[in-house]
Amino acid sequence: MRIQHALHNGIIWSASLPSTQWLLHLVPVLFMAVFLPTTLARRWRFNTLASFLGPLNQRKSSTQAVMQAVKDTIAQNFGGKAQDVGRATFSLEEVPDLSGKVAVVTGGSEGIGYGCTHTLLSKNISKLFVTSLRTEKGEDALDALEKELGAGARKRVVYLQNDNSDWASTAKVANEIASQTDRIDILINNAARGIMTRQLDSHGVDLHMSTNHIGADVFTSHLLPVLKKTADAGHTVRIVNLSSNLHESAPPDTKFESVEELNKDYGPQQQYNRAKLANFLHIKYLDKHLHSKHPNILVNATHPGIVQTAQTQEHIHEAFPLLGYGMSVAAQPFIKTQFEGCVSTMYAATTTTESGQYVTPPCLVEKGSDKANDEQLAENLMKLTRELVEQKTRPESSAKGCPFKDA
């Protein structure tokens, strides 16, 4: 039996399973009794006890504070290399007042995206563009925002339906946003496909890469004129891509050299991991080619941690019906809420003064994998991205800003 595991959003994924299906019922028990303790012992390191307890000393000692520290610790460690904790703290209460600013959040109607949307509105963002794959989810989010924050909050939201895997539609939606505002201070690329079985989009391209990376690139490209205009007027502009510690477990032979490579079936976990590596590399590329010429534009990637989203409620059951359910239950005590899960992203979107970084919860800057810092791999990715967009949609889409060398 060969088992490949990585914990993300509370799930352990298996690359291959024994034929004796009853063993699956033991997985949650084995996780809590064996995997979790041994992982703690093998992978986590704390410089001192004070390092671990540091965040607790800065807030009221309580069960809630302890659990939050545990959740942050797990978020920083699972799916990647061991990290130090207690070096920095940040909370949503520390997000500054955003009066006069304009933001865009993709996938902002549920999960982490909703956490970002709610926080931006609660901090007085003047105008907020929110995209969502499903119109009913968008309407539900607007109703919830009005109920929780008042009618005034809803009036500041412009909702647009969009499917990131439809690149022509994505370009159109971005152009529509650009036509409705003369500034954009914050862009959060959150919309993504979770850990699911391999599928191809309407262009014949792997759906994970199409949705999570290429669609996000097209969207960003078509907003660039407004983003650069805002930055050139002296304002700080922040672009954030949601990545994941699972980028460290992308297929080892990843080169981003052809569509045939993108369409190779690595299994649900690896397809997702590679797409999250692409999100990271996209930011590194933007930092090199965009931030270097427009220093007021800060571009960063974030890892949200283990968060209760559609990933754990819907996507996982398509790929791993029984095993996914079992691990969701086992890890439930450690899973963050959508508001806890958006903390690192809100830090990168509103507070950081740095660019080209990878921020893990709550605001810890980490290096990421060697592949994530490979400049040639980033060049390969963006070259292939431009070629695919040019071939599958319209040349003017790729010329709009991808691969940003003319930024």
CA angle centred on 149, ends 163 and 120, rounded to 5°: 55
DSSP run (H or E) holding 341: helix 338-341
Residue 267, phi-psi category: left (phi > 0), alpha (psi -120 to 50), beta (remainder) = left
276 carries an active-site annotation: yes
272 carries an active-site annotation: yes
Marked catalytic residue, from 272, 285, 347, 358:
272
Marked catalytic residue, from 123, 137, 276, 336:
276
Backbone angles phi, psi at 159, to 5 degrees: -100, 135
List helix spans (H) across 194-288: 207-209, 215-232, 259-262, 268-286
Supply the DSSP string of 366-381, one letter for each residue. E---TGGG-HHHHHHH
Length of the chain: 407
CB 348, CB 229: distance < 8 Å = no
Return the SS3 of 157.
strand
CB 338, CB 278: distance < 8 Å = no
Q: List, by residue number, the catalytic residues.
A: 272, 276
